Amino acid sequence: MEQLQEIERIIQEGDMEALEAYLNQLKATTDLDLIYEVASILAAYGFMKEANDLYETLLVHLPDEAQLKIDRANTLIELGEEDEALLLLNDIKKDDDEYVQALLVLADYYQLIGLAETAIDKIKEAHELLPEEPIIKFAYAELLLESGRYAEAARYYLEIKEQVNEIGDVSITSRLAETYSAGGAYEEAIPYYEEMLQDTSPPDILFGAAFAYYQVGNPKRAIPLLDELIGQDPDYYSAYMLAGQAQILAGEDQKAYDLFKAGIVRDEFDKELQLSAGKCALKLGYTVEAESYLKEALVLDPEYIEALVTLASLYHTTERDEELIELLTDANEYIEDIPTLHAFLAYAYERTELYDNAYESFKKAYSGMKEEHEFLASYASFLVEEGRRSEAIKVADQLVKLFPDDPNWRAFLESQND
């Protein structure tokens, strides 16, 4: 015991010269238990090379000791010697008491290198050998959760919860809430969030519960949770977005707008808050403020298509054609596949008498908007005005097929047949 305390003291003091001397002295001992304890201490403090040397020495004396193979494999993995570690682990026999432990180490390794399915196979085998062991069920559930197999993970967490409430420092109730939420089963997640909130209300639990209530369309329950969260931690930035969305769901647009603005004060670089504030301002009739927020969102991300479409729609509605043309010309490389923006450009070019440009924009918009009445009517009218009779007939024919109650274009088509 004194020797173990001594090596811990040496390690904690960082006396590398004394450590080297101690390890040299240790080589002369035949006390294998002492060597094992020292190796365990070294590994715990991160001295993997030194620990590995001792485990290798022990295996010379005890070549069939499965626990030594596992311990050395762990140190080898830390040292980047994975191939040698795998040889050791795969050498452990199924009838060894340590076989399940070896499977768990293998699962951790395969998970670490991104082979999730292989890791799951190893844990599954361990679970089949010890089906009632909570720690193995937990490891299995954790891998399933990480792999996106939420329903399976939840089933194992539920089984664990019947046995224990926690494993390590992890709450099984928390994992159930997280797993159901991740799988979109918010109704199932809510009881577990509520169970946690009976004992404690840390920000992440408040946010998770509020998000679940928002997703099931219950803003009245989500809003007070988010109010509590923001009161606890005003710098929990994502709470402002969710709180604003919940207020919108509750029909409280002004409160939503105030929350988005408060969030921007805390984090002015959040483009989604800028967009949400802009959209909300538009609903409330604050067009100047809306424009400012939308422009700021585009400063933060010039390729932010939703902000671009919203600002372009504002310019289109208010017929600010020069600004619309400038906005979309600058963003030309981002909008090729967005028919709505080409339509806005077509209308703006037509109003500013740039007819060739309008024609090109109408053509680009057509493939994605050939079921939109307003667009088809505008396009057909433009083609008629431009004297493009055959093209006008084609668009008018499409319009009449989709909207047979429109008498104007039916009359136009009949007149062309006279």
* Number of domains the chain is built from: 1
Residue 51: per-residue pLDDT: 86
Q: What is the 3-state secondary structure (H, E, C) of 270-295?
A: CHHHHHHHHHHHHHHCCHHHHHHHHH
Residue 328 included in any domain: no
Where residue 17 falls among pLDDT bands split at 50, 70, 90?
A: confident
Confidence check: pLDDT of 1 > 70: no
Residue 83 included in any domain: yes
Q: DSSP readout, 202-229? A: -HHHHHHHHHHHHHTT-HHHHHHHHHHH
Residue 84 included in any domain: yes
Query: What is the average pLDDT score of the chain?
Result: 91
Residue 270 included in any domain: no
Residue 64: per-residue pLDDT: 87
Q: Helix crossing, 134-146 with 172-182: angle to 10°?
A: 30
Contact between 346 and 365 under an 8 Å Cβ cutoff? The reply is: yes
387: left (phi > 0), else alpha (psi -120 to 50), else beta? left
Highest averaged pLDDT of the listed ranges 63-67, 133-137, 257-261, 401-405 = 257-261
Summarize pLDDT for 94-129 with one digit per residue, the tens: 888 888 889 888 888 888 888 888 888 988 888 888
Where residue 270 falls among pLDDT bands split at 50, 70, 90?
A: very high
Summarize pLDDT for 337-357 with one digit per residue, the tens: 899 999 999 999 999 999 999
Residue 31 included in any domain: yes
- Other CB atoms within 10 Å distance of the CB of residue 6: 12
Nearest to 207 by CA among 183, 187, 181, 225: 225
Q: Give pTM, 2 decimals.
A: 0.77
Residue 320 included in any domain: no
Residue 277 included in any domain: no
Confidence check: pLDDT of 380 > 60: yes
The 8 Å CB, 24+ separation contacts for 211-217 are: 211/181, 211/186, 211/242, 212/177, 212/181, 212/186, 213/186, 214/242, 214/245, 214/246, 214/249, 215/184, 215/186, 216/186, 216/187, 216/190, 217/249
Helix (H/G/I), strand (E/B), else coil: 176? helix
User: What average pLDDT score do residues 239-267 get?
Assistant: 97
Residue 150 included in any domain: no
- What's the one-letter identity of residue 397? D
The CATH number of whichever domain residue 31 belongs to comes to 1.25.40.10
Determine the structural domain holding residue 17 and report its residue range.
Answer: 1-92
CA dist., res. 248 & res. 256, Å (int) = 6
In this structure, the strands spanning 166-167 and 170-171 are antiparallel
Confidence check: pLDDT of 39 > 90: no
Contact between 88 and 73 under an 8 Å Cβ cutoff? The reply is: yes
Helix (H/G/I), strand (E/B), else coil: 19? helix
DSSP at 166? E
Nearest to 324 by CA among 304, 355, 347, 300: 347
Nearest to 322 by CA among 346, 348, 302: 348
Summarize pLDDT for 169-186 with one digit per residue, the tens: 889 999 999 999 999 999
Q: E strands of 66-189, at which residues?
A: 166-167, 170-171
Confidence check: pLDDT of 23 > 60: yes
Six token digits for residue 391? 């093209």
User: What average pLDDT score do residues 258-279 get?
Assistant: 97
Q: E strands of 265-356, at which residues?
A: none
Confidence check: pLDDT of 307 > 90: yes
**Residues in contact with 173: Cβ distance below 8 Å, sequence separation at least 6, in sequence order:** 161, 165, 192, 195, 196
Cα 381 to Cα 204, 238, 348: the distances in Å are 56, 47, 15
Residue 418: per-residue pLDDT: 57
**Residues in contact with 267: Cβ distance below 8 Å, sequence separation at least 6, in sequence order:** 237, 273
What percent of the chain lies above the pLDDT cut of 90?
56
Query: Degrees (nearest 5) of the Cα angle 245, 249, 253?
Result: 75
Task: Name residue, tokens 């207020």.
Answer: 247
CA dist., res. 58 & res. 65, Å (int) = 9
Element (H, E) at 353: none
